[in-house]
Chain A
Amino acid sequence: MKISGSYTLPVAPERAYQILQDPAVLAQAMPGCEGLEQIGPNEYRMKMNVILAALSGKFEGKVRIADAVPPTSFRLIVEGSGRIGFLKGDGLLKLSLANTNPSVSTVVSYEGDAHVGGTLAAVGQRLIDGTSKMMLKKFFDKLVSLAH
């Protein structure tokens, strides 16, 4: 599944770039994330407990940052698997200065692929698009609040 979109963060690109790669910030912003633990340069082990209405699922996986070009772009690769299925997202994030007055802000646009497998893929098709959008929205909303 292709995913794309953009959000605006109320900080300058340099700051946006920094928080988007800050494991402490990412851990707080990623919905259901229960912690990121560095296991290599730009690579983290992740634990998630995704709760969505009655649905709940624990996932373990990795977050990796690649092709970093500060402060304009990087790739974010997220992989997780659990009993109910597995998820893989691979997206290119691009940051650009938004010319908005009065305060400076950054447009973060993303484009990539999301793969879902296991039970989730087999029974969740109807809801994958909407819920992935919701997760991304939650992620960026939280980032906005953390950016201040």
Chain B
Amino acid sequence: MFAQKFEYTAPKTLDEALHLLANGAKPLAGGMSLIPMMKLRLAAPEHLVDLRALKDLNYIREAGGQLHIGATASHYDIESSALLRQKCPLLTETAAAIGDVQVRNLGTIGGSVAHADPAADYPAALQALEAKFVLRSEKSERTLSAADLFVDALTTALQPGEILSEVIVPIDDTRTGTSYLKMAQPASGFAIVGVAARVRQNAGKISFVRIGVTGLSNRAYRATAAEKALEGKTGSAADIQSAAALVARGVDANSDLHASADYRKHLAVVHAARALKTALSRIA
């Protein structure tokens, strides 16, 4: 378990980091996936740029009616943020469900999102939140939606030399309830299936539904058919059940040692129903 020889730089400024990345270095943002891969020699980057050393990427703040989270905010930073707990509890709940304490202390939101593991927890919540992602390189800056960022298993729209610098999530009004529910794979803690639900109620009717699903297929997605099915309904048990039944429809589900595709689809339905129910019950 010894990595190949590599160069390591911990730059002081983002510009310096972007410059190194433009010249072929690879970003390190916690290393919860990259370092094990390097030790197994599945990955052999020649030059790592440690983004966690950058103070200017580690923040969680409110601005312009939105929440801005720097890429190197750790899962623990997010889990324990009073601001997020109050204004975006879905994200704190999701961060708290990641891996174990050690992973949450070292892993970062930017690293996790950019790695795009198909079973990672954040993508479900970020899909449900319709988060925006700021991508920066030495020469450019652009903002993408979750639908555009997550391309396939371990594949994002990030180009070489480009890093995810910030995640932007909305602040919901008080008529919104959220929930993230997962079945954790007992060895890795990754989601066998994880479902994030975000619902809003107006005058006894459900006015707005967002459902993000992770773990089921190669990329996290929004279950739009289920969302539509629930909007305008009262949110009875039957409403929830028939909406949840749609979350896995037409999805090419993955199988592994821990769960077959059929079981994953079944779990997605069960977890969607439960997450929706919990989200509704949390509306103030």
Task: Report A-B touching, CB under 8 Å.
Answer: yes
Interfacial residues, chain A to chain B (CB-CB below 8 A): 52-57, 83-84, 119-120, 123-131, 133-134, 137
A127 CB contacts on chain B under 8 angstroms? 118, 153-154, 256
Q: Which of B119, B153, B217 has the most CB of A within 10 A?
A: B153
**Pairwise interchain contact A126-B119, C-beta atoms closer than 8 A:** yes
Question: In this complex, what residue of A is CB-closest to B38?
Answer: A54
Interface string of B70-102 (1 = CB under 8 A from A): 000000000000000000000000000000000
- Whole-angstrom CA separation of A53 from B254 in the bound complex: 19
**Pairwise interchain contact B43-A133, C-beta atoms closer than 8 A:** no
**Pairwise interchain contact A129-B42, C-beta atoms closer than 8 A:** no
Say if the beta carbon of B207 comes within 8 Å of chain A: no
Give chain B interface residues in 18-68, CB to chain A under 8 Å: 26, 33-34, 37-38, 40-45
**Pairwise interchain contact A57-B256, C-beta atoms closer than 8 A:** no
Question: In this complex, what residue of B is CB-closest to A57?
Answer: B42
A137 CB contacts on chain B under 8 angstroms? 152
For chain B, give the interface size range.
20 to 34
A-B contact count (CB 8 A): 68
A-B contact pairs, 20 of them (CB 8 A): A52-B154, A54-B33, A54-B45, A54-B115, A55-B42, A56-B43, A57-B42, A84-B42, A119-B42, A120-B42, A127-B256, A128-B256, A130-B217, A130-B254, A131-B154, A133-B218, A133-B252, A134-B152, A134-B153, A137-B152
Closest 9 CB pairs of A and B: A53-B154, A54-B43, A130-B153, A130-B254, A129-B254, A130-B218, A55-B42, A134-B152, A129-B255
Say if the beta carbon of B116 comes within 8 Å of chain A: yes
B interface, over-half SS: loop
Instruction: State the Cβ distance, A52 to closest chain B Cβ, in Å.
Output: 6
Given A52-B155, A84-B41, A129-B255; 7 other pairs, CB 8 A cutoff: A54-B34, A84-B42, A124-B42, A125-B257, A127-B256, A129-B254, A133-B218
Say if the beta carbon of B133 comes within 8 Å of chain A: no
Instruction: State the Cβ distance, B190 to closest chain A Cβ, in Å.
Output: 7
Question: In this complex, what residue of A is CB-closest to B26?
Answer: A54
B42 CB contacts on chain A under 8 angstroms? 54-57, 84, 119-120, 123-124
**Pairwise interchain contact B256-A53, C-beta atoms closer than 8 A:** no
**Pairwise interchain contact A131-B34, C-beta atoms closer than 8 A:** no
**Pairwise interchain contact A130-B118, C-beta atoms closer than 8 A:** yes
Say if the beta carbon of B140 comes within 8 Å of chain A: no
Question: In this complex, what residue of B is CB-closest to A126?
Answer: B256
**Pairwise interchain contact B254-A133, C-beta atoms closer than 8 A:** yes
Question: In this complex, what residue of A is CB-closest to B217?
Answer: A130
Say if the beta carbon of B159 comes within 8 Å of chain A: no
Instruction: State the Cβ distance, B255 to closest chain A Cβ, in Å.
Output: 5
B153 CB contacts on chain A under 8 angstroms? 52, 127, 130-131, 133-134
A133 CB contacts on chain B under 8 angstroms? 153, 218, 252, 254
- Whole-angstrom CA separation of A52 from B17 in the bound complex: 23
**Pairwise interchain contact A54-B37, C-beta atoms closer than 8 A:** yes
**Pairwise interchain contact B37-A126, C-beta atoms closer than 8 A:** no
